[in-house]
Structure formats: structure tokens, C-alpha cells
Chain A
Amino acid sequence: MHNHLLNRRGFLDQSRFGLAAVALASILDSEELLADGSVSFDPTAPFKKRPPHFASSAKNVIVIFCAGAVSHVDFWEYKPELIKYDGKPLPGNERLISFQGENGALQKPLWEFNRYGNSGKMLSSLVPHIGSCADDICFLHSVHTKSSTHGPAENLMSTGFNREGYPGMGAWVTYGLGTENQSLPAFVAIEDPRGTPQSGPNNWTNGFLPAAFQGTAFSTTRPISHLTPAGNQPADGNRALAVLNALNQEHKKHYTTDTDLSARIASYELAAKMQLSVPEATNVDGEPEHIHKLYGADSKNQTKSDFAKNCILARRLVEKGVRFVQLFNGAYASGGKINWDTHNSMPDLVPGHAEILDQPVAGLIKDLKQRDLLKDTLIVCCTEFGRMPMFQVGNNGRDHNPEGYTVWMAGGGVKGGFSYGATDPFGYKAEVNPLSIHDVHATMLHLLGLDHTRLTYYHNGLQRRLTDVHGHVVHDIIA
């Protein structure tokens, strides 16, 4: 009776999982952001593109999350006083106890700073490639956070709460805006080739939002699980799928008003499409040689090369209309070996981390720019907190510093070659125009055309927001 379902050879030949001709029912509710801030969306197509609250400069986001905490005083924020007072105690905090204990004397940056771009931005000589993009970058030097432990601070940076179980930025954004490409996940988390970040999947969790808005984790080195049938399945999955569809349609006759049944039917179609679209999107090796070179994917340093490929993947995803990409640089706590958590041996460890980060990220900015995608794509390079301007007692590394650090942005409508806010003269505490993480989030949402106070979801007694009850848009950094 349903033989016609089996005759769509063109599609079926390519896929062992091709569910053809599943009717995407026209049972769509109106898709909009409601007055109370919650979003009405069609369960059969949760990622359907939705209009923002107001006209926006950015359409997509790539967050580069440097897990383990990058030292702002060694990389991004030049502090002449720190050089001058090298070896002296931090005035007013001579015996500061921080996360791991006692701190020693102030320690000047371990590497030279150079001037970059027309803006003359002072940045570490360890990041010359990023330096060459300085005129596209907007530095926020006065960000502060609430926790000095990696997990909770990562949570706060990614979800707005240091506790667990709140939706990640990407979940909020895709809940608000849907996505452009219905054949790819709307929110992708790309883990570092060396491993999972400290707070793991809580960085890309849907929290209490519907599970559809969870980030899908895959990278050039780690595919999506179950994308292809397990080895023991019959070669022709289409036949089974056609029968599945036939039986579902039969069942649906009695449940004509139930959209969630249609949604399930549609999900098998999307799954079939993803079997083609995901391998196609992750085929970074198919990129031309000059692109590989631009990102440093040709590097002999395997980690750098893998990270560079992840950066290329991020660009490919955004190009194909994926709304939100969270790209990790650095894995879990490891004595600073495979992430930025350098409590000791900074002189030995940090240059290696910088090498992995520098060229691939700069390549990403340049590549987006040459494709004219940078104006639509907001790049946010963040980390969970800063590091102390001192070395730890008895050690040559810096402890965690939640009091002040740097987040930078590029593209998506922010001012290039611009710096905002500052820590105190030694780099310890955010002093000039201090910014909470909520301010950073509010600004990101604003750039996407979303009012952070109006993007809400009811959960356990409150209309919840990414920004909790805080957050101010930093209009000064918007071009």
C-alpha cells in the first residue's frame, strides 16, 4: 500500500536512512517571541527561524572558550606598573590568599608585549597572528566573575549561573531565534581535541529549556554518535523506515490533532538529512590548501592542527547557517598541561598553549572577513576567570583571579581596534567600567537583536533569563 514511499531512488541511494516523503504537516502555530518573553515555537520544527526583538547586527555567534583561565596580564592587558613593581608585593594585598593559597610578589609578564595594528594595541608577542587582527577586535578588560573554581566559573561564563543546570548561551539564543539551516543542529559545541572542558556538557546544556535546544557536541575528531546505523543492521534501512512511516501515519489517523506525533515523524526526516549534511559539514579536509595554511591546519603540531580544523569547522557551520558555535580551546584540569590552568611552570607551558590558539583563531577571523561573514558573525573569546598578577608562593605560576580579566569580541557589530574598561594598575581587580558576565551576555544578546530582559522561560517559580536579574548592555562597544 505504501510502495510509492520506496521509489524515491535518488535520495535513498545516498542514504541508508532516507526517510522520503514524510509529510511535514502544515500544522504550524505562529512563531514569535511573545510579550512575556517566552517563545512560542512549533514542536515539529523547533529550530525554525524566528525574528529577533529588534534589528540586529549579528546573526551567528562563535564563542571561543579558553578553558582553564588565560592570564590576561600576560596576553591581553598591558600593565606597565606591573613591570615596574615586579618582585614587590601587591599593595594592600600583601598576603592575599586565593584559590590555591598564598600569593608571592608581583610578577611582570613573562613575555614581551608588542604594538599591533593601526590601533597600536599592546598584546603579547606570543599571539602575533591575533595581533594582526587587532583592528577588528574589541577588548573588554574589566570583566569579573563570582567564583574562583573552574567548574562554577565556567558555568557562569556559559550559562549565567555558577550553579549547574541553567541553559547555556547557545541554548538561549537558538530558543529565541531558531536557526537558518534546518538540516544541521542549531547549536554546536566543538570540544578541544585534547578533551572535555572542566564543566563538560553543562557548558552547552539546555538546562530547563526543551532538550531540543541542547548543544550537539561534535568536532573534526569526534563524530555524532549513531549518525550511521550500527554494524548489525540490514543494509537497506529505507525499507524499515518506510514501514515505520506507514505505521505512524496509520496511527496518526486517530490522533489528527497531536502535533507532537507529527514532530516525531518529522524528526526522522531531519535525522535522515543529517546523515548527509553532518558529514558534509565536517569534511574539513576538502577545504583548499591555502585555507588550511591560513588556519595553521598544516602544522606539524598535531594539537594545533586539530584545533585549526575545528576552527575551520566552526566557519563552515556558521557559513551553512548554524546559529551558535561554542568552540573550546583547552580541556580539563591537568596541571596546566592540556588547558590554560598554569599554576606552575608558566614559562614552559604557556607558549605551547599560545601556539595552539594563536594562528587558528586569527585564521578564523581573517577567513570570515574575506568571506564577508565577519559582520554577521560575533566572535567572543572568553575564559572562566583571569590569573593573578603575582606568582604563587614557592612556584612559577599564577593562581585564579576572579576579580578582573579580559574577554574580547570581534565582528557582529562591535567596534574594532577598541578597548573598554581596565583592571587596576597591576591587573588584579576590575576598576574602570567593571563588567559582570551578565553585562557581557546582555550585550551579546543585544547584538543578536534580543533584549535580555525579554528572552525568558518559566521554570520553578520564575520567568528565567540568561542574565538572571542583572545585566546591562554595553552600548559603548557597539559600532
Chain B
Amino acid sequence: MQLRFPQLILILFVASTAEFASAEPVDFVRDVQPILVKHCIVCHGPGKQESGYRIDLFETLLRGGESETVAVVTADIEQSHLIARVTSNDPLVKMPPKGTGLENKEIETLKAWIRNGAKGPFHIITNANTEHWSFQSIHSPPLPPTTSSNADANAVDAFIHAKLHKAGLSHSGKTDRNTLIRRLYLVMLGLTPTPQEVREFVDDQNDDAYSRLVQRVLASPHYGERWAQHWLDCVRYAESTGYEINRRITNIYPYRDYVIQAFNDDKPYDQFIREQIAGDFYKQDAATGFLVAGPHDTNPSPDPRLTAMQYQDGHDEIIKTVSAVTMGLTIGCARCHDHKFDPITQEDYYRFQAAFAGMSYGTRRQQGKENDRMLTEAQSLEVQLTSLREEAAQLRDRHQLFEPIDLREYDEEFPSVLTDTIQFKINATNDGNAPELDDIEIWAKTANDAPSINVAHRDRGATATSSETAKGNQGKSADLLLDGSRQLLLYFKAATTTDVWIQIHLDKPYSIDRITIKPRGRAVPVDYEIQVKTNNEQWRTIINSKTRYPHLTDTRSADAMKLSGLTPEAIATIVDNTSQLRKLTQTYDRLKAGPQIYVGKIQAPRVTHLMIGGDPQKPGKVIEPGFLSVFEAEQTDITNTEQARRLSLAEQIASSNNPLTARVITNRIWQHIFGTGIVDTPSDFGINGSLPTHPELLDYLASYLIRKDWSLKELHRLILHSATFQQSSESNTAAHALDSSNRLLWRFPPQRLEGEAIRDSILRASGKLNPKQFGPPFQFFEKETSPFSKKVPLAEFTEEGWRRMIYGEKIRLESVGIFGAFDCPDSSQMTPKRTVSTSAIQALSLFNSQFVSRHGQFMADEAQATHPNDVVDQINLLFLRTLARKPSKPELEAVLPLVKSQGLASLGRVLFNLNEFVFIN
């Protein structure tokens, strides 16, 4: 491991950098730790530390306890107090105090370990549950002796074969080349091969034909699209927020593109993880879309209980995703209490929350070329901007106008006047919409030395009336101007844009001299008068907006604008300047913000509390960011910047010494090749998860992955070259009787294709697949009439919609037409393993839909154009396009009458519905 971030990484990585030099290295976890656990942990463990000596943390194991003697001195047995105590003959000194003490062999192991440098692990196991297999270090096991006579057999086969042999089973024979290429393409690319690709491979007589095919497949740009989908399933990526508003997120797709590109580039997996947690550090901003891709409730409310719940739920999504996707740990279970099964404490959960305490759902600047370009362009506008601003200042000066209003809060001041009724007459707003106001405060002096008080408050007895107010879900009446506070949903809104009036009636006459106006940033009154009267007097105007210079956002035309003492020409000049300045400012601000993408907003981290019982209303003690306590990770006493918190977490997860990370991804890769993982609970490697069917194989492959610098393509290559992958998938009744679920892999397991692969393969077979990669998604639904209206699936697509399904807009909760019914996840929950169900709805969709029949027609049209005169050739071509093989004689006989009576397109529709088509065989 490289010391990439010396400022973050203290002692613990140092201890693990060097390989053991000795011929028979002592491994701490394998050899030393069991001795410590057996003899010492009860008195010197996490629960109890006799004499202050604690051995479950590597640092204190070496340092020793209260006695000031150092327990372990590297390479010096004489000076190591630990050895002195376990070898002493003095019953008062000897450890452990009871029993016969350590065996000589054990003492020799300890000595050898110290002699070799007392190298330690990254993690030390601290509690009983941690003997669970997945928490143990990964070791590459030796290959079992092979009993296979298969010439293609590789390391993978050695492990598979050993188990098969034990069960009295063996591999099935090698599958034929047509099946093999179709399988390889569907597994690796999610697409059927083209007839030409099939022919080339089938006819290739060279020994390395298959190797070259694998190479080609791994180099295909479609590889990333296929494997990104698996990853996005785990992350439950979608392009809307979910929950009741389910607002579209139109700028999160850069994350989807990042994942596709990362797979295609074979980005080392450890770096892939680091970037997704702390991509801002690596100038890979799109990568942190990982953290905010889950569902989140954005419905705003002034209710603090709801807001607190939304924060906790939003962060829960982040914690669950990070831990389950990368490490196969269900840390989410520890939100309310310590994990029931795994050694994860409730504090661990909140340590994770603290690591993400500054991360929230929202957009952020994407660093990089585009950002630089935009900033440079913004800079180039500054001269013009300054000149326009100066011109505006001069105009205001020349015409002696007051400064413009403020969109959020400003004061109108005037000579003191005694009154009990104040009227606002509004005739225009900055954006032409019906005026909105949050609050109006009217200030009166009650005594010379007393501060002014706001007399326009309903608690003082003030009341308000107005012209007609807007109808909405919430009240918009004028009393809301007098509630003394800005409230999210409770504000005044008029029904009309012009001729609006508001009257405020004070409880008695006051001498007032200042009015604070609090607009809402939009629909801000810009043409208004403030009038007063007492008793039955006439209204007297005390403020007129005509005396103010227009605000930058004021979109009134020169004709509609009146300014005190100005000629129409002078007003036109001002309006012209304002309009230019507004447009330029908008452009400037947009450029200055750079590209904004939905990959998490970063702010200063808030203080994290452990929530008692997981209740957002019951904060307990303050929790600092950190890693799981089961692993002796370093307690990061770093400066604790927001980024450092995530970076530190990323490092600990992506470490080669983390026993989970490599195993989890290896298992996912295996699962998406063979349908089921070696561990069939792919996001739960905890006690409650399944045990691996082939633990040694998993560790062999995980070690292999790390050894190959975390190259997933190398891992793929190894597995794809196995005889296990290349064997037949056909039934074998005898083997089925022994292992009906085929977990031992006596055949290649047939698998139902995902909805995406079915659609993509139909498009490829019809010749219409649009290979365009990346960028904004295509639509699956008709344009809505309102954000809440039902989404209606599109029946027809154009070329844009014939891109691969991963480029289709993923609306949370909405199942896309036809293919959604094939168990496409709705992105609410992490889906590391899709369910595979069969329903009549699927059959109806696939058999009756216009989409399928239309592409059957396209496929037929092209076959007829290729082979205009020979119906058998046409049929052959359709079979090749869909099944990568030609029909058998009985099949040909079965389909010919159909083609003759209903046309070739009808056969296309049939082929797209076949079991063989929707399965990887």
C-alpha cells in the first residue's frame, strides 16, 4: 500500500506496508491473534483492561499498560515485557495468572513474530462475533490438486472441480461455439452478438480464438454499460428524488456516465471506491453521485420534527449504501440499537453519519475543463459588467433617485406620522406575477429613549385586510403579514398583479417613522405607494416607489415605468441599462457557478449526535467521525475538515487490508457471471448472510484482484477462461438430483435476462440499436401535464429512444413500459440481486406491444433486403440475430407456415418472446 496521504495515515498503514521477510513468516491474524484471544483477551480486552493493558488495539498491544514497561519492542525479545511475563517462572509475574500458561509452541510463535518486526494487521478483531469468516484477512489459498482432465481448466476450475468431485459430480461438456459467444456477449455486454460476430468466431480455427474473443468483449464500450447497470442497481441510482414530490433530477446523469467510463477504463476498483466517497479530492466530482443517488424526501416543512426526521433518513440512505455496497455490511441495522447479529455498534453507525455530516442532497460545481472554461468566460465579462454598473450608478446619481429595493428585506423611512391605518397600493411587481410578501413590520417610537417597536403584529392587536388573495393549498391572506416571522408556506399572495391593496389596522394610533418590507425574492412589488390616514381623513401618501431607482430584476418596460421627475427618454435610458445589466449578470452568474451537477452539496459538517433509539428527537452524546470499532482503525485526529472525514473513510474501506471490500466486489463479479454469488447474499457478508459455497475460491479470486492492482477486467478474464464458464448449460437429471440448485456448478446456470438486456438485445437484433453513449437521458414517458399526474409510458420511440436502456431516464417508483415488468428495480431499495419472476403481465407486454412487433418488422425488413429471394435464408438470419444460431430442421418446419401466412415479421415477434431469447443459455 502506498502512503498516498501521509497527513491522514498514521501508524497503522506503516505497520502493514512491508511483506514479511522471513522464510516462514508469522502472520499476526493467523498465528498470533489466536494465542492472544485464547489466553489474554478476557482480562485485557475491550471490556476490561487489567493494569490498563489492552491488547485488542494494535497500538496499545505494543505499548503496554500502566507499568511503563514496553510490552513489545520490535525485533527485541529481551526488551519485550510481553515475553518476560508469559515466560516467567514467578507465579506472581507469570501470565496468564491461572492455568498452565502458554505452550512452548505458542511462546515461540510470539517470539518469532517479534523477531520479524512485530508487524501488525490493519485491523484487530475485538469481539466474539468477529470470528466470522468475512472479517478474517484474505489469504490466497493454494490450488487444490486438480482431478480434471479438461485441457481448458484453470485455477477457478481447480476449486470448482474439487467440490464437484467430492459430491460425485463433474463439469458438463464444453458448450458449442454459438451458445458460447451468445453467452459471453450477454453476460459481458448485455447484448446478443451480430450474425457476423457469430460467424467469425464459429469459423475461427485458431487456438486462441476464444481468448481473442474475450479480449474484444472486454475492450467493447458496451462492457461498461452492462456492468455499470449492475453497480447502479446496488446504488439504486435514479433521476428523481422519490417520495411524494418525486422531482426530476436532470443533472445526476454524469454519475451514471462516470460509472460506465470507470468500468470501460478498468479503473482500479479501490480507486473507484475512493472516488465515489471523496471524488472532490480527486477532481472526480461526478463520482460522489454515489452518495446522493438514493431516494430522499425534499418536501419542505417548518415542522422541526419532520425536518429532523428527513435529515436522519437522508443520511441513513448514505450510510446504508456505502456500507452495504462496498463492504457487504448492513450498518443501517445499527441506527436504533447495536446490530443484532454483526459486531457493529450504534456508535459505529453515527461515526459513519459524522463522516457524511457535511454532505447533503443537492448540486455542486463539477471541477475540470468545463468549469475552467466557464470561469474564464465569466472573467471576460467583468469589464463590461463593471462599466454597466458604473453607468447605472451615474444614472441614479444624476436623477437623484433612492437606491433600489431589496428582494428579501429593506426599510422605507419617512418623517414621523401619527396614524392607525396604513395602506399599500401595489401596481406592478419585478417579474410581472401577482405580488407576494412574507411580512410587514411598522416601527413606532413609544418613548424617546426606548427602542422602536413593531406595531404591525397580530399579538399587539393589529389586523389586516386586502384585495382578493390567491387560492392555493395554503392560506395566503393578509394576516400572514403580521405573524412576525417568515414561514415557509404561510405568506401573503394577491390574486391579481395590479390594483392590489393591503390595509393594516393598528390597535391604536402610533407615531411611526419606518416600515420594514420583507418580500419573498420573487413577485416583489416595484410600483407601489404607502399611504396613511387617521379617522376619516383622506389617504395621504408617505412613500412612493417612483423615487427609487429600478431594481436589476425589474422587467417593466420603459412605458410602464414612472420615475419622479424623469422624462420618458431618461427612463428609457435607465430601462435599457437595467435590462442589459440584468442579462449580463444572469450570464455572468451562470458562468461563475460553473457546471452544477447533482452529486452532493458540501457544507461544514454539523455536530453529530447518537440518536437514542434512533429517534431524531432524542439526541445523545456527540459522536466523532470514524470507522467501525470492530476494526482497529486509526482514530483520525486529523483536522477533521469535511473532506478529510470522507477521505479517511474512503481509505479505510478501499484498503487492501480491509477483509471485506475485495471479497464483496469479487463476489458481485462472480454473481453477475454465474447468476448467483459464491455468497448468495451479495450485500450482506455479516453473520446473517449466507456462507460462501467456495470460500477458498473467493479468497483466491479476491487476492488475485488485489494482486492485479484491483483490475476488474483481469478478474473477468480469469473467470471467463475457466472451463466452468465454458461448459454446457443443459439439464442433467442425475446431477440435478444431487445438486438441484447447481451451486456447485456442474453446468453453466441458465439465467433469465434483465429487462434492460431484453430491450437492448431486441434493438440490436432489429438493427436499430443507437450506440450513442453518455449524456442526458432519453424519455420513457409522455410529457406530464402536471408534476403529480400519472406517468404514461411511451408506445413509440425515435432513434434517441433506441439507445441502450441505461441511458433512459430512471424515474424512481415508475416502472417503464413492457420491460419494467421484468423485475427492473424501482430504485427505492438497493438491489444487489434482482428477483426473477414470471408473470402474465410480462407475457402480455412482450407479445402484444407495439414496440416488440415494430422491431420484429424492422428485423424482417432487413433480412428481406439482405436475402430478397430466399425465405429460408431470411429465417436463418432472424435466428442468427436473436439466438446466434440457425434453426434446426424441425424448427424450420414449424416456422415456415407462419412466415408464409403472416409474414417474416410475425416470426420476429415470436423469436423475441422465446424462452431461449430471454435466457442466457
- Taking a contact as CB atoms under 8 Å apart, the answer to whether A234 and B848 are in contact is no
The B-contacting residues of A in range 343-373, CB under 8 angstroms, are 343-345
Partner among B309, B788, B795, B901 whose Cβ is within 8 Å of the Cβ of A195: B788
Q: Chain B residues near A396: list those with CB within 8 A.
A: 475
- Taking a contact as CB atoms under 8 Å apart, the answer to whether A257 and B740 are in contact is yes
In the assembled complex, the Cα of A236 lies from the Cα of B906 at a distance in Å of 10
With contact pairs A251-B915, A258-B731, A267-B838 given, residues A1 and B843 touching in the complex (Cβ less than 8 Å): no
- Taking a contact as CB atoms under 8 Å apart, the answer to whether B826 and A165 are in contact is yes
- Taking a contact as CB atoms under 8 Å apart, the answer to whether A17 and B731 are in contact is no
For B803-845 the 0/1 string (1 means CB < 8 A from A) is 0000000001111011001110010111110011111111111
Which of B295, B306, B890 has the most chain A CB atoms closer than 10 A to its own CB?
B306
- Taking a contact as CB atoms under 8 Å apart, the answer to whether A243 and B689 are in contact is no
B408 near A: Cβ within 8 Å?
no
With contact pairs A230-B849, A231-B850, A247-B895 given, residues A264 and B918 touching in the complex (Cβ less than 8 Å): yes
For A310-350 the 0/1 string (1 means CB < 8 A from B) is 00000000000000000000011111100001011100000
A34 near B: Cβ within 8 Å?
no
Q: Chain B residues near A97: list those with CB within 8 A.
A: 302-304
B299 near A: Cβ within 8 Å?
yes
A80 near B: Cβ within 8 Å?
no
With contact pairs A234-B906, A240-B909, A395-B475 given, residues A224 and B844 touching in the complex (Cβ less than 8 Å): yes
Partner among B245, B686, B752, B893 whose Cβ is within 8 Å of the Cβ of A461: B686
Q: Chain B residues near A166: list those with CB within 8 A.
A: 829
- Taking a contact as CB atoms under 8 Å apart, the answer to whether A333 and B788 are in contact is yes
For B294-309 the 0/1 string (1 means CB < 8 A from A) is 0101010111111001
Partner among A196, A232, A341 whose Cβ is within 8 Å of the Cβ of B473: A341
Which residue of the partner chain B has the closest CB to A100? Answer: B489
- Taking a contact as CB atoms under 8 Å apart, the answer to whether B730 and A255 are in contact is yes
The A-contacting residues of B in range 674-731, CB under 8 angstroms, are 681, 683-684, 686, 688-689, 729-731
Which residue of the partner chain B has the closest CB to A16? Answer: B848
Question: Which one of A70-78, A197-205, A406-414, A429-437 is at the interface?
Answer: A197-205
In the assembled complex, the Cα of A228 lies from the Cα of B903 at a distance in Å of 20
Q: Chain A residues near B489: list those with CB within 8 A.
A: 100-101
With contact pairs A208-B829, A225-B793, A226-B845 given, residues A147 and B244 touching in the complex (Cβ less than 8 Å): no
- Taking a contact as CB atoms under 8 Å apart, the answer to whether B818 and A226 are in contact is yes
- Taking a contact as CB atoms under 8 Å apart, the answer to whether B888 and A255 are in contact is no
In the assembled complex, the Cα of A99 lies from the Cα of B310 at a distance in Å of 13
Which residue of the partner chain A has the closest CB to B898? Answer: A243
Nearest chain B CB to A38 CB, angstrom units: 13
A261 near B: Cβ within 8 Å?
yes
Nearest chain A CB to B631 CB, angstrom units: 19
A477 near B: Cβ within 8 Å?
no
In the assembled complex, the Cα of A151 lies from the Cα of B242 at a distance in Å of 9
Partner among A232, A244, A256, A271 whose Cβ is within 8 Å of the Cβ of B914: A244
Q: Chain A residues near B579: list those with CB within 8 A.
A: none
- Taking a contact as CB atoms under 8 Å apart, the answer to whether A99 and B297 are in contact is no
Nearest chain A CB to B518 CB, angstrom units: 16
B266 near A: Cβ within 8 Å?
no
The B-contacting residues of A in range 159-189, CB under 8 angstroms, are 162-166, 185
In the assembled complex, the Cα of A208 lies from the Cα of B827 at a distance in Å of 11
Q: Chain B residues near A229: list those with CB within 8 A.
A: 847-848, 853
A252 near B: Cβ within 8 Å?
yes
Nearest chain B CB to A260 CB, angstrom units: 6
Q: Looking at chain A, what size class is its interface with the partner chain?
A: 35 or more
The A-contacting residues of B in range 266-303, CB under 8 angstroms, are 295, 297, 299, 301-303
- Taking a contact as CB atoms under 8 Å apart, the answer to whether B894 and A230 are in contact is no
Nearest chain A CB to B887 CB, angstrom units: 9
In the assembled complex, the Cα of A212 lies from the Cα of B821 at a distance in Å of 9
For A425-464 the 0/1 string (1 means CB < 8 A from B) is 0000000000000000000000000000000001111100
Which residue of the partner chain A has the closest CB to B893? Answer: A1
A12 near B: Cβ within 8 Å?
no
In the assembled complex, the Cα of A234 lies from the Cα of B835 at a distance in Å of 34
With contact pairs A17-B847, A343-B475, A393-B480 given, residues A248 and B835 touching in the complex (Cβ less than 8 Å): no
- Taking a contact as CB atoms under 8 Å apart, the answer to whether A149 and B306 are in contact is yes
In the assembled complex, the Cα of A256 lies from the Cα of B915 at a distance in Å of 13
The B-contacting residues of A in range 73-88, CB under 8 angstroms, are none
In the assembled complex, the Cα of A219 lies from the Cα of B490 at a distance in Å of 38
A392 near B: Cβ within 8 Å?
yes
- Taking a contact as CB atoms under 8 Å apart, the answer to whether A195 and B789 are in contact is yes
The A-contacting residues of B in range 895-913, CB under 8 angstroms, are 895, 897-898, 901-903, 906-907, 909-910, 913
- Taking a contact as CB atoms under 8 Å apart, the answer to whether B828 and A164 are in contact is yes
Q: Chain A residues near B508: list those with CB within 8 A.
A: none
Nearest chain B CB to A233 CB, angstrom units: 5
- Taking a contact as CB atoms under 8 Å apart, the answer to whether A216 and B841 are in contact is yes
Q: Chain B residues near A206: list those with CB within 8 A.
A: 835
In the assembled complex, the Cα of A243 lies from the Cα of B895 at a distance in Å of 6
- Taking a contact as CB atoms under 8 Å apart, the answer to whether B684 and A1 are in contact is no
- Taking a contact as CB atoms under 8 Å apart, the answer to whether B853 and A394 are in contact is no
In the assembled complex, the Cα of A198 lies from the Cα of B790 at a distance in Å of 10
- Taking a contact as CB atoms under 8 Å apart, the answer to whether A343 and B473 are in contact is yes
- Taking a contact as CB atoms under 8 Å apart, the answer to whether B474 and A248 are in contact is no
Partner among B473, B730, B902 whose Cβ is within 8 Å of the Cβ of A234: B902
A89 near B: Cβ within 8 Å?
no
B488 near A: Cβ within 8 Å?
yes
Which residue of the partner chain A has the closest CB to B911? Answer: A247
- Taking a contact as CB atoms under 8 Å apart, the answer to whether A225 and B826 are in contact is no
In the assembled complex, the Cα of A458 lies from the Cα of B688 at a distance in Å of 10
A210 near B: Cβ within 8 Å?
yes
- Taking a contact as CB atoms under 8 Å apart, the answer to whether B890 and A234 are in contact is no
- Taking a contact as CB atoms under 8 Å apart, the answer to whether B830 and A460 are in contact is yes
- Taking a contact as CB atoms under 8 Å apart, the answer to whether A251 and B840 are in contact is no
- Taking a contact as CB atoms under 8 Å apart, the answer to whether A211 and B829 are in contact is no
- Taking a contact as CB atoms under 8 Å apart, the answer to whether B828 and A195 are in contact is no
Q: Chain A residues near B730: list those with CB within 8 A.
A: 254-255
- Taking a contact as CB atoms under 8 Å apart, the answer to whether B823 and A211 are in contact is yes
- Taking a contact as CB atoms under 8 Å apart, the answer to whether A196 and B302 are in contact is no
- Taking a contact as CB atoms under 8 Å apart, the answer to whether A212 and B903 are in contact is no
A270 near B: Cβ within 8 Å?
yes
Nearest chain B CB to A37 CB, angstrom units: 14
Nearest chain A CB to B895 CB, angstrom units: 6
A274 near B: Cβ within 8 Å?
yes
A246 near B: Cβ within 8 Å?
yes
- Taking a contact as CB atoms under 8 Å apart, the answer to whether A208 and B835 are in contact is yes
- Taking a contact as CB atoms under 8 Å apart, the answer to whether B244 and A46 are in contact is no
With contact pairs A148-B301, A254-B731, A261-B919 given, residues A392 and B686 touching in the complex (Cβ less than 8 Å): no
The B-contacting residues of A in range 1-43, CB under 8 angstroms, are 1-2, 17, 43
- Taking a contact as CB atoms under 8 Å apart, the answer to whether A260 and B752 are in contact is yes
Q: Chain A residues near B372: list those with CB within 8 A.
A: none
- Taking a contact as CB atoms under 8 Å apart, the answer to whether B681 and A461 are in contact is yes
B658 near A: Cβ within 8 Å?
no
For B777-804 the 0/1 string (1 means CB < 8 A from A) is 0000000000011100101000000000
Nearest chain A CB to B236 CB, angstrom units: 8
Q: Chain A residues near B236: list those with CB within 8 A.
A: 165
Nearest chain A CB to B513 CB, angstrom units: 28
- Taking a contact as CB atoms under 8 Å apart, the answer to whether A267 and B733 are in contact is no
Would you list 26 pairs from A and B whose C-beta atoms are within 8 A, ordered by A residue? A100-B474, A101-B302, A102-B490, A148-B305, A152-B244, A162-B313, A165-B828, A191-B790, A195-B788, A200-B790, A201-B815, A202-B813, A210-B837, A212-B839, A239-B906, A240-B906, A254-B730, A264-B843, A264-B918, A271-B847, A273-B840, A274-B840, A335-B472, A335-B473, A344-B471, A460-B681
Q: 10 other contacts beyond A209-B835, A225-B793, A273-B840, with CB at 8 A cut-off?
A: A17-B848, A195-B788, A205-B826, A210-B835, A211-B835, A212-B839, A227-B844, A240-B909, A344-B473, A461-B689
The interface of chain A, by Cβ under 8 A from chain B, is 1-2, 17, 43-44, 46, 97-102, 146-152, 154, 162-166, 185, 191, 195-196, 198-202, 205-213, 216, 224-234, 236-237, 239-241, 243-244, 246-248, 250-252, 254-258, 260-261, 263-268, 270-271, 273-275, 331-336, 341, 343-345, 392-397, 458-462
Which 4 pairs, one residue from A and one from B, show the smallest C-beta to C-beta distance?
A165-B828, A151-B244, A395-B475, A165-B829
